[in-house]
Structures are given as C-alpha cells and as structure tokens.
Amino acid sequence: MIDPLSPDTQAILLLTAPLSAGSGGSREILTPGEYKKLARHLHSIAERPATLLGPGAEALVESCRTVIEADRLRRLLGRGLRLSQALERWRARAIWVMSRADAAYPRRLRERLRDDAPPVLYGCGDQARLAEGGLAVVGSRNADSELIEFTQRIGALAAAARVNIVSGGARGIDSAAMSGALEMGGCAVGVLADGLEKAAIAREYREVLPDRLTLVSPYDPSAGFNVGHAMQRNKLIYALADRALVVSADVNKGGTWAGAVEQLERWRMVPVHVRTTGAESAGLQALRARGALEWPTVDSAEALRYASAPSVVGRVSENGVSATGSVDEDTERGRLLAMTVEPKSEREIIAGTGLTQQRVRALLAILVELGKLERRTRPVRYVARTQTVLLV
C-alpha cells in the first residue's frame, strides 16, 4: 500500500516528518506553519515539492530562501536514508503513508481543512473508508458505565445501519463507540493522536484490520501521547465524518469540549449533536448554548441511519454548515471559477471579483490545489477546469 511513494510525498515527508524510528528525529523539520508557508510559496511559483528532489532542486532551494533557510532545506532533503528506513519500519507493520499531494488523500480533509489539512497522513487499513464519512462519536476518557453502554449501543446500531463510526481511538467513549460497532460486524475509522505503530500490530485489532477498521493519524507512527496532538487531531475526526455526536464533555476544559467548540465556532464542517438522554451534563448544555443540536432518541438501525445522514450539499443546514466549506467562501470560489472560463490574469481576477489581492491569491492557490483551476505560465493565467482533478 505504501508503494510507490510519489516524489511529492517523499519530499513532503523529508521536510515535515520526524521519520523517527523510535528515537531522536530531526529537530529541524518544518512546523505546520512553516510548511504552510513553503507550500504557498511553491504554489505561487507553480512548483511542486517533487522538484526539490530532481535536477532543478538547487535553484528551487535558493528561491525558497525567503521562506525557509536554504541550508536547512538541504539538510532536511538529505535525510533520504532516514526516510527509507522509516518506510521500511512502517511497511513491516502494514502502515501506509500519504501526503496532500496524493490523489488518495481524503477529499474531505483537503476540502474542509484546506491548508490546515495535515501534509502527511499515516494509517493502517483500507484507505477508501476515509472517503465514506460516518458518524463521529466523541467524549471523555473517563466515562461511567452507563455512558459507555449508551455509546456501545450507538456503535452497535451504526454497525447494523452500515454507518461507519469515526472516533479518536482513545479509551472511554472513543473506544466504546468503536468496539460497539466492530463487535457487531460494523466498520470504524480511528483517528489517533499517538501510537499508531503499536495500534497497527495490537492484538485487539488483528481481527478487524484491515477489513473493517481503518486507523489514521497525522503524527509520526512512533509518536507518544501529546496533549497538543490530541487537540489538533479533533478537527480530523469531524472532517472525516458526516455528523458528530458528543456523548460527554466538561465545561471549558478537556479535549472533547475544545474540539466541539472549535467545530461549532470555527470550522462548522458538520452538524454537531449532543446527547439528550440519560444523566444531565453541564458541558453538553453549554455546547447546546453554542449551537449544538439535540441527538434524537435512536433505537433502531433505521433511526440511526436517518439521524446520522449528511446534511445536503450546498444547503445551509442546521447549525449553519454546508457540506464542503463555509458559505462565504463557496460563493467566492464560485464567482472566481465563473469568471475564469476564459484564461484570466491575477489582476483581472482581482478587478472582476472585487476581492483583495491577498484573498484572491489564497483562493487561487486553493483552487489550483483542488484541481479546479489550471495555472498556465508565460504569461501566468488561470483557467477553470471542466473536470475536477485532484492535484497537489
């Protein structure tokens, strides 16, 4: 599954991944923010990461000087053997890796998170499952047995309804949702913040990997627990699902709270529901106040399928969410694409859309990345593609 790694992915891994087979790793790797800058720079000059590995590498490294120091880039790109060693280690554990440059990279992440989408994803199990959506179930690590049972029941119903469970793979609610589904023959996606390498060969998963369980993580497979990572990966759980159910949360603290609030207020990618049966919860009520929806009483597979269905594409639904991105932006994108049926320069687009230069550049980069726009050179012109092709 890991072969062949595209040159773009190789380059992105060299630049951003610790590639640490257990120990050390480079302290020099680009932070997500730095990589974001570099990626934008590459887009702006119509280059791809792969060029950094080819005959034109030296010139490109020099041209990136303004963004990242040249010697640092050279050192990172010189980690070829480390990359290969890491691949071998992952491959032995049936772990795959893909980058934003790969066609297989989940569209949900690319479109919903744009350049906040993790540059690299590691995983184990069927990649296609990442495109299937499903019901995200999140909640705290410490949950009482009543909540665990409730959550397992949701998992079991999801299995019967053939709806995937998307969860964080942590103990407590996450595990309950996943095991509830897997034990009943259902499918699940576990978005891990740490320890993919261990999970990939864990006994408890042997029966279900790779056929019914897909594990995915934006962090190095040997990475240990890290609160920041756990927080950062929350948005991936939501992005890979069609809807989310928060089973439990504390007010103003903990990862579940932070993830749900971030979803309700910043990302707004999927409708967020909270549990309404069983014990009262201050955290859930607070989420309700911030726009979370009630989770209906679900007691059959049919009801669960209905309750977890995606909101209709393009429709501003429930808590103000469209399936693919925020409203404003879709409109902006639509305007931009509509006026580039004929090739247009950046200046013409700025004039035609009335947007700022900065905004237009960002949109152009995204649309080129999504394959919706083609960037022609000499002179630089943008033209809408009739078919959507996924590129870098």
C-beta closer to another protein: residue 24 or 314: 24
The encoded tokens of residue 235 equal 């948005």
Taking CA 123 as the corner, what is the angle to CA 209 and CA 176, rounded to the nearest 5 degrees?
55
Collapse the DSSP code of 356 into the 3-class scheme (helix H, G, I; strand E, B; otherwise coil) and give the result: coil
Kindly compute the dihedral angle of the four CA atoms of residues 321, 231, 287, 285, in this order, to the nearest 10 degrees. Answer: 150
Q: Which of 11, 246, 304, 364 binds another protein (CB under 8 A)?
A: 11
Check residue 92 for interaction with another protein (CB under 8 A).
Answer: yes
Span of 33-41, 134-142, 148-156, 199-207 interacting with another protein by CB under 8 A: 199-207
Within positions 32 to 61, which residues make up the interface with another protein, using CB under 8 A?
Answer: 52-54, 57
Check residue 260 for interaction with another protein (CB under 8 A).
Answer: no
Taking CA 49 as the corner, what is the angle to CA 107 and CA 367, rounded to the nearest 5 degrees?
40
Strand 272-274 relative to strand 293-294: parallel, antiparallel, unpaired?
parallel
C-beta closer to another protein: residue 51 or 263: 51
> Whose CA is closest to 338, among 349, 322, 326, 325?
349
Q: Determine the Cα–Cα distance for residues 4 and 21; give it in Å rounded to an integer.
A: 20
Span of 79-87, 98-106, 283-291, 373-381 interacting with another protein by CB under 8 A: 79-87
Q: Which of 82, 108, 243, 275 binds another protein (CB under 8 A)?
A: 82
Q: Determine the Cα–Cα distance for residues 210 and 1; give it in Å rounded to an integer.
A: 11
Collapse the DSSP code of 283 into the 3-class scheme (helix H, G, I; strand E, B; otherwise coil) and give the result: helix
User: What's the full length of the chain, in residues?
Assistant: 392
Check residue 191 for interaction with another protein (CB under 8 A).
Answer: no
Partner residues linked to 384 by β-bridges: 373
* Cβ at position 222, least distance to another protein in Å: 12
Check residue 314 for interaction with another protein (CB under 8 A).
Answer: no
* Cβ at position 92, least distance to another protein in Å: 5
Check residue 87 for interaction with another protein (CB under 8 A).
Answer: yes
Check residue 339 for interaction with another protein (CB under 8 A).
Answer: no
Check residue 91 for interaction with another protein (CB under 8 A).
Answer: yes
Q: Determine the Cα–Cα distance for residues 261 and 258; give it in Å rounded to an integer.
A: 5
Span of 2-10, 158-166, 177-185, 252-260 interacting with another protein by CB under 8 A: 2-10
C-beta closer to another protein: residue 92 or 389: 92
Q: Where are the alpha helices (DSSP H) in the chain?
A: 7-16, 32-44, 57-63, 70-77, 80-92, 107-113, 145-160, 173-183, 196-200, 203-206, 227-239, 254-262, 282-289, 301-307, 327-338, 346-353, 357-369
Check residue 80 for interaction with another protein (CB under 8 A).
Answer: yes
End-to-end CA gap in the chain: 20
Q: Which of 44, 85, 311, 319 binds another protein (CB under 8 A)?
A: 85
* Cβ at position 15, least distance to another protein in Å: 11
* Cβ at position 387, least distance to another protein in Å: 28
* Cβ at position 79, least distance to another protein in Å: 5
* Cβ at position 237, least distance to another protein in Å: 23
Q: Determine the Cα–Cα distance for residues 96 and 130; give it in Å rounded to an integer.
A: 13
Check residue 72 for interaction with another protein (CB under 8 A).
Answer: no
Check residue 24 for interaction with another protein (CB under 8 A).
Answer: yes
Number of residues that bind another protein (CB under 8 A): 39
Check residue 81 for interaction with another protein (CB under 8 A).
Answer: yes
* Cβ at position 253, least distance to another protein in Å: 36
Q: Which of 60, 77, 156, 367 binds another protein (CB under 8 A)?
A: 77
Check residue 216 for interaction with another protein (CB under 8 A).
Answer: no
**Cβ 325 vs Cβ 111: under 8 Å:** yes
C-beta closer to another protein: residue 52 or 272: 52
Long-range contacts of range 309-317, CB-CB < 8 Å, 24 or more positions apart? 309/242, 309/243, 310/133, 310/242, 310/243, 310/270, 311/242, 311/243, 311/270, 311/271, 317/271
Q: Determine the Cα–Cα distance for residues 196 and 371; give it in Å rounded to an integer.
A: 31
Check residue 173 for interaction with another protein (CB under 8 A).
Answer: no
Check residue 304 for interaction with another protein (CB under 8 A).
Answer: no
Q: Determine the Cα–Cα distance for residues 88 and 132; give it in Å rounded to an integer.
A: 29
Interface with another protein by CB under 8 A: which residues?
Answer: 3-5, 7, 10-11, 14, 21-24, 26, 52-54, 57, 75, 77-85, 87-88, 91-94, 200-201, 203, 205-206, 209-210
